[in-house]
């Protein structure tokens, strides 16, 4: 006896197929994205210190502004990413998020000069102008991309978890991969990218790599979703 499949059932089947491929190309691509997002967040932080240095120096005030606000942005990203993951538990939306984050990272070298010059002149008369100026520039330049990068870990956990009993293992695996990426994002810019490419090219290379992976993810998940109704 033939049965028909309604639109909602087809959509559910598509989401199920997308969310249950840990050993497939999609699964490995998601792991690579988690790794690169972790690397990108620390690469941006390392490059930010060199970007602000000519304008505000390399004092503890500057480092406190960078580290403290980056951690705040990641915290906001973890929370927002968890909310979005529960509402839109599909990999393609995660790739959209990282795609936007990569574009914002690529934008930093283009707008940083005017922003830094303005902040330096505005807060120069104040005794704690270095603190205020560095805080403001870190907010303007790095808030949105870092918040979006913070969304990656909770979003990827939501996508990868198949059973409640595997939640601990999956969470530990993904956070370990993200932390490994952060380690690479700490040492690679300091030892290779910043000395040999400079600050601007460090931002550009970081954003470009993340953008390439995001575009691959969007295209592959979209084509997979288009094939799913045909298979049902």
Residue 161 banded pLDDT, cuts 50, 70, 90: confident
pLDDT of residue 228: 59
Residue 195 has pLDDT above 70, yes or no: yes
> Does residue 6 or residue 118 have the better pLDDT?
118
Predicted confidence band of residue 169 (pLDDT cuts 50, 70, 90): confident
Q: What is the pTM of this model?
A: 0.85
Q: What is the pLDDT of residue 231?
A: 54
DSSP 3-state percent helix, strand, coil across the chain (nearest 5):
90, 0, 10
Lookup result for tokens 């290779």: 192
Q: What's the average model confidence in pLDDT over 209-231?
A: 81
Pair 50, 199: CB distance under 8 Å: yes
pLDDT for position 66: 94
pLDDT tens by residue, 91-142: 999 999 999 999 999 999 999 999 999 999 988 877 778 888 999 999 999 9
Q: Render pLDDT for 71-101 as a digit per residue (tens, 0 to 9).
A: 999 999 999 999 999 999 899 999 999 999 9
Euclidean distance between CA atoms 146 and 158, whole angstroms: 20
Domains and CATH numbers, the chain: 25-227 (1.20.1250.20)
Q: Is 125 exposed, middle or buried (0-12, 13-18, 19+ CB in 10 A)?
A: exposed
Distance of CA 16 to the CA centre of its chain: 24
CA–CA distances in Å: residue 28 to residues 33, 34, 93: 9, 10, 17
Burial per residue of 201-229, b for 16 or more beta-carbon CB atoms within 10 angstroms, e otherwise: ebbbbbbebbbebbeebbebbeebbeebe
Q: How confident is the model at residue 6 (pLDDT cuts 50, 70, 90)?
A: low
3-state class of 24 per DSSP?
coil
Q: Which whole-number Å values give the CA distances from 45 to 51, 200, 214, in the listed order?
A: 10, 13, 21
The DSSP result for 183-221, as a single string, is HHHHHHIIIIIHHHH-HHHHHHHHHHHHHHHHHHHHHHH
For the chain, the first-to-last Cα distance in angstroms comes to 16
């Amino acid at each position: 006896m033939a049965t028909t499949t309604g639109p909602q059932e087809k959509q559910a089947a598509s989401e199920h197929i997308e969310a249950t491929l840990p050993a497939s190309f999609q699964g490995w691509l998601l792991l690579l994205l988690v790794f690169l997002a972790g690397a990108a967040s620390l690469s941006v932080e390392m490059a930010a210190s060199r970007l602000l240095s000519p304008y505000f120096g390399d004092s503890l005030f500057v480092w406190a502004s960078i580290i403290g606000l980056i951690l705040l942005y990641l915290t906001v990203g973890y929370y927002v990413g968890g909310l979005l993951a529960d509402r839109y538990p599909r990999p393609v939306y995660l790739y959209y998020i990282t795609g936007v984050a990569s574009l914002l990272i690529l934008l930093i070298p283009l707008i940083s000069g005017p922003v830094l010059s303005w902040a330096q002149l505005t807060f120069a008369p104040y005794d704690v102008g270095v603190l205020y100026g560095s805080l403001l520039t870190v907010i303007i330049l790095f808030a949105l991309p870092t918040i979006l990068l913070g969304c990656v870990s909770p979003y990827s956990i939501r996508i990868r978890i198949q059973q409640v009993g595997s939640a601990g293992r999956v969470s530990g695996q993904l956070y370990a991969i993200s932390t490994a990426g952060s380690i690479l994002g700490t040492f690679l810019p300091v030892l290779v990218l910043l000395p040999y490419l400079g600050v601007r090219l460090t931002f550009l290379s970081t954003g470009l790599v993340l953008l390439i992976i995001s575009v691959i993810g969007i295209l592959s998940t979209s084509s997979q979703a288009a094939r799913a109704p045909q298979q049902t």
